[in-house]
Amino acid sequence: MSRTPFDSHNTQEDKSLIIHMRSGDYAAFTLLYNKYIRQLTQYGLKFLPDLPAVEDVLHDVFVWLWTNRQKIDIHSSVKSYLFKSVRTSMLHVLEKQHRLQSLQADEEHTYTFDLQLTPEALVLHNENRRLIRQQIENVLLTLTPKQKEVIYLRYYEGLNFEDIAQSMNLSVKACYKLMGRAIATLRENMVCSLLFVVCCLWFVVYSYRLPGTSCQALYVDHSICNRAL
Amino acid sequence: MHELNNHKPQTTNHKLIVIKNKDIEITMDKYKEYQIDDFLRDESFINWVLDPEGANNQAWAKWMNANPANKETAQKAIDTIRSFDFKKEPVADDFYTNLKLRIDNTIANEQLVTVARKPVVRLWWKAAAVVAGLLIGAGVLYYVRKPSYTFISTPYAAIKTVLLPDSSEVVLNANSSIRFNANRTGSKREVWVTGEAFFKVRHLEQAGKAQPFAVYAGDAVIEVLGTEFNVKSVNNTTGVLLRQGKVRFSIPASHSTTIMQPNDYCQYNASQGEIITRGANPVLFTSWMEQKYRFEKTPVQEICTTLKEYFGYDFIIRKPELATQPISGTLELQNEQVMLRILSELLNAKVTREGNQVIIE
C-alpha cells in the first residue's frame, strides 16, 4: 500500500526537504518526487484516465516546484500543496478538452472524479467487511465528484479536513458539510441493505417452507424494502 | 494527545478526565456517546485507523480496550474506513523513472537561460524553442549591460564542464549546482557551489593587481589567485582539496581561516565548529572527473553515501558489520550495472537494485 502516514513527523520531514531544496539540494527534490509521485499519478488518473496527459501535468508541477522553490509559500503541508497543484492542473486539462467538444466549460460540467474500489480478489474474507464493501460500492455510484474526492483525500490519502478544504478551494465548513452528506448517504444505504438482508433471510426461511413461490416472494420483498426507504 | 480534540463540528462541553492509572492516561467521555458517523468524522480516529503505529495515535487502541461497550460501533467505523481501498490504475515503474528523467532534463535546460520562464507544455515545445532562441539573444544583450546570475546544475549520473565568463573552468559533478555573476566586467569573481565541483581558476591581473576569485560553499569561503582545487559541499559539510597553487579557506561565521598548500585537504562542518586540515592524495578527490570513484580504506557506509549523491539511489546495508568495514578500490560510474557488479565483488556481498533502492546483503 502506498499510503503515507500523515503524522507530524512526516510533515516535518517534508518541510526540511523543501528547506534543503531552497539551498540548491537536488537530492531533496528527488526524494520528494519519489515519495509522492505514485500517489499523485493515481490521483491525477482519477480526473482523467489518460496517462500521457497526467504525465504532462506531473512534469509541469515538479518543474515548477523546483524553479520556484525560493518563492513558494507552503501554508499547510507539502503533501497537500502537491495534491492541490495536480488538482488545479488536471482541472485545466479537463476544461481545455471540454472546450474543444462543447461550449460549456464550467467546473460543474467538466469535473469528473472516477472512484472505484479495488477488485474483489484483494479483499479479506471477512463477512462484515464484504457487506460494507458492497454498500460502499453502491454509494459511490450516487455520490457527486466532489463528495468522492473528499472521501478519497480524507480516508485514503489521509489529508486532514483543513488541507482538503485548502486544496479544493472550499471553506473548512463546506468541506465538513460535503463529508457529512457523503456519510449520510453511506448510513442510509447501510440501513437499507440491513433491511434488505433481513428481508432476504426471511425470504430464505419462507421459501424453504413453501417451495414454488420463491420468485414472487423475492419481488414482493424487494418492493417492501424499497418502499421502506 | 492534543489531536484527539480536533473534532470540530460537534464540539460540546465534554469532560476530559485525567486518570492516574498509567495504562489509561486520559479518557474521553464524549467518545462514549459516539455514533458511527461521529467516528467517521473524527480526525484523530481516522488518523489512528490509517496509521495505527503513528506517534499520536496510540491512545485509541487503549480507549478501545477500556470501552468494550463502544467497541462494536467503533469497529464498524474502522471496517468502513478500511474498506475505502480504491482501485489503482496499473502504472509501470518505468513511467516514474522516465518522467523523472524528463523533469531533470527540462530543469537542466531551463537553468541555462537566466530569464525566468513559465513551464512549457509538450505541444508548445516548438514555439518554446523559437522563444528560447530569442531569449538567449536578449540574454546576451542583457548580460553585457547588467549583472545577472547564471545558475547551472547537473542531474544525477551526469557531469558537466562549465566555462566561466573569465574563462576559468569548472567541472560539475552529478547532482550539483553553481551560480555565478554572468557579468564579465565586474572586478570580483564569485561562484556559489552546492554539491561537488573542481575549479581551474585563470590567473588574472588588473592594473598590476591579481584579480580575486572567491568560491562560496556552505559556510565556507575559498579565496584564490589562480589555482586548481576541488570543492564538495554536502549536508552542511564543506571539504576542499587543493591540487595546485594557494588558497585561503575561511569560515566567516566562526572567524576561522587557514591558508592551504597543494595536496592539503580542509574540511569544515558546522557541528564540529573548526577547520580540520590534513594532507591527502589528490587523486582520490578528483577521480570523479573521469567518471570513476576511487577510495582507500573508506568505510562502506561512506562509499554508499557518495554513490547516493551521484546516482540518487538509497543504499541500504542489511549487514550492520559491513557498514563500518574499510574498503579500497575503484568504481567505474559510467555504466550503472557494471558499477553494481563491481561493488558486489568488492564488498563480497549481494547487491541488488529495486527501483530507487540498492540493497546490500
The domain spans of chain A are 1-112
**Same structural domain for residues B50 and B64?**
yes
Q: Which residues lie closer than 8 Å to B318 by C-beta, 6 or more apart?
A: B359, B360, B361
- Other CB atoms within 10 Å distance of the CB of residue B140: 10
Q: Give the number of other CB atoms < 10 A from CB of residue B119.
A: 20
Q: Are residues B276 and B176 in the same domain?
A: yes
Residues within 8 A of A (CB atoms), B 17-56 only: 36-37, 40-41, 43, 46-47, 50-51, 53-56
Residue pair B199/B244 in contact by the 8 Å Cβ criterion = no
Q: Are A59 and B106 inside 8 Å of each other by CB?
A: yes
Both B132 and B243 in one domain: the answer is: no
| CA end-to-end distance (rounded Å), chain A | 37
* pLDDT given for residue A218 in this prediction: 42
Q: How far is CA B324 from the centre of its chain?
A: 23
Provide mean pLDDT across the span B279-291.
86
B276 and B182 in one domain?
A: yes
Q: What angle do CA A15, A21, A23 make, to 5 degrees?
A: 115
Residue range of the domain that includes B48: 2-83
Position A167: which residue type? S
Distance from CA of A215 to the nearest CA of B (A): 33
C-alpha cell at B225: 589567485
pLDDT for residue B77: 83
pLDDT band at A55 (very low <50, low <70, confident <90, very high): very high
* Cell numbers placing A219: 419481488
**B259 and B173 share a domain?**
yes
Per-residue pLDDT at B21: 41
B interface test, pick of A43, A47, A63, A126 with most B CB neighbours within 10 Å? A63
CA nearest B168: which of B190, B151, B152, B139? Answer: B190
pLDDT of res. A208: 54
Residue B81 to residue A155, Cβ atoms within 8 A = yes
Per-residue pLDDT, averaged over A127-149, amounts to: 80
Q: Across the strands, what pairs with B181?
A: B149
pLDDT tens-digit map of B15-33: 444 434 444 444 566 777 7
E-state strands within B155-291: 160-163, 169-172, 177-181, 189-200, 205-206, 209-210, 213-217, 220-224, 228-234, 237-244, 247-251, 256-260, 264-269, 276-279
The rounded distance, in Å, linking the Cα atoms of B153 and A24 is 9
* Contact (CB<8Å) A37/B8: no
| B78 plus B156 within the same structural domain | no
Q: Which residues make beta-bridge pairs with B213?
A: B189, B224
Interface test with A, best of B53, B58, B80, B173 (most A CBs within 10 A): B80
- The Cα A124–Cα A86 span in angstroms is 32
Contact B79 A128 (CB under 8 A): yes
What single-letter DSSP state applies at residue B119?
P
Final residue before a domain boundary, out of B83, B106, B137? B83
Q: Is residue B153 located within the same domain as residue B210?
A: yes
Give the pLDDT of residue A43: 94
Place of cell 480536533: B6
Residue A44 to residue A60: CA distance in whole angstroms: 13
Cα angle B361, B307, B180 (rounded to 5 degrees) comes to 165
Q: What is the CATH number of the domain that holds B319?
A: 3.55.50.30
User: Which H/E stretch holds residue B17?
Assistant: strand B16-18
CATH of domain A1-112: 1.10.1740.10
Best probe of the A interface among B11, B86, B110, B309, by most A CBs < 10 A, is B86
Q: Which of A139-143, A212-216, B208-212 has the least mean pLDDT?
A: A212-216
Region B181-198: what's the mean pLDDT?
A: 79
According to DSSP, residue B327 is labeled E
Mean pLDDT score, A81-93: 91
Residue B273: the pLDDT is 79
Residue B80 makes CB contacts below 8 A (sequence gap 6+) with A132, A136, A186, B36, B40
For A155, the closest of B46, B95, B107 (CB atoms) is B46
Residue B79 contacts residue A155 (beta carbons within 8 Å): no
Same domain, B218 and B298: no
d(CA A193, CA A189): 6
Please name which of B82, B60, B72, B83 lies closest in space to residue B36, comparing C-alpha atoms. Answer: B72
Q: Which of A65, A31, A20 lies closest to B194 in space, CA to CA?
A: A20
The predicted pLDDT at position A58 comes to 95
CA distance B260 to B246: 6
| CA gap B55, A10 in Å, rounded | 10
The Cα–Cα gap between B134 and B209 comes to: 38
Percent of chain B clearing pLDDT 90 (strictly above): 6
Mean local confidence (pLDDT), B190-216: 84
Residue B56 burial by CB count (10 A; 0-12/13-18/19+): exposed, middle or buried?
A: middle
The pLDDT mean for chain B works out to 78
State how far the Cα of B157 lies from the Cα of B309, in Å rounded to an integer: 9
Residue range A8-33, pLDDT digits in tens: 567 778 888 898 888 888 888 988 99
Of A63-72, A84-93, B224-233, where does mean pLDDT reach its minimum? B224-233
Report B:157-176 residues touching A (Cβ under 8 A): 175-176
Dihedral in degrees, nearest 10, Cα atoms B307, B309, B313, B314: 90
At residue B174's C-alpha, the angle toward residues B168 and B177, to 5°, is: 55
The number of distinct structural domains making up chain B is 4
Tally of residues, chain A = 229
> In this predicted model, what pLDDT tens digit does every residue of B122-174 receive, in sequence order?
666 777 777 777 777 766 655 555 556 778 888 888 888 888 888 888 999 98
| Residue ranges in chain B assigned as alpha helix (H) | 29-32, 36-41, 43-50, 58-66, 68-83, 93-110, 125-145, 282-286, 300-311, 320-323, 336-347
Chain-chain contact of A117 with B312 (C-beta, under 8 angstroms) = no
**Which three cell numbers mark A217?**
416472494
Number of Cβ within a 10 Å radius of residue A13? 15
Spatial separation of the C-alpha atoms in residues B359 and B361, rounded to whole Å: 6
Specify the amino acid at residue A193: S
* 3-state DSSP percent of chain A in helix, strand and coil, to 5: 75, 0, 25
Which of A94 and B28 is assigned the larger pLDDT?
A: A94
Domain boundary (B146, B169, B190) is at B146
Alpha carbon B260 to chain centroid, angstroms: 29
> Could you tell me if B181 and B136 are in contact, meaning their C-beta atoms sit under 8 angstroms apart?
no
Instruction: Given the cut 0.85, state whether the ipTM is greater than it.
Output: no
Nearest by CB: A41 against B86, B91, B156: B91
Torsion over CA: B185, B187, B189, B190 (sign): negative
* Pick from B285, B293, B282: nearest CA to B334: B293
* A108 against A144, higher pLDDT: A144
Q: How far is B79 from chain A (nearest CA, A)?
A: 6
Q: Please report which confidence band the pLDDT of residue B80 belongs to, taking 50, 70 and 90 as the band edges.
A: confident
Per-residue pLDDT for A61 more than 90?
yes
Mean pLDDT within B28-54: 78
* Among chain A residues, CA nearest to B77: A132
Nearest chain A residue to B78, by CA: A129
How many whole angstroms separate alpha carbon B226 and alpha carbon B200? 8
pLDDT over 90 at B291, yes or no? no
Lowest mean pLDDT among A130-139, B41-50, B346-355: A130-139
Question: How high is the pLDDT of residue B3?
Answer: 42
Give chain A's mean pLDDT. 75
pLDDT of residue B140: 64
Domain end position, chosen among B146, B166, B187: B146
What would the grid cell of residue A116 be? 472505484
B81 to chain A: closest CA residue: A155
Cα separation of B309 and B291, whole Å?
13
% of chain B surpassing 70 pLDDT? 81
Q: How far apart are the C-alpha atoms of A97 and A86, rounded to whole Å?
A: 16
Q: Which residues of A touch B100 (CB under 8 A)?
A: 30, 33, 37
What lies within 8 Å, CB to CB, of A158 at 6+ separation is A3, A4, A5, A6, B46, B47, B50, B51
What's the pLDDT at A203?
Answer: 60
Residue of A nearest to B123 (CA): A56
For residues B274 and B298, membership in a common domain is answered with no
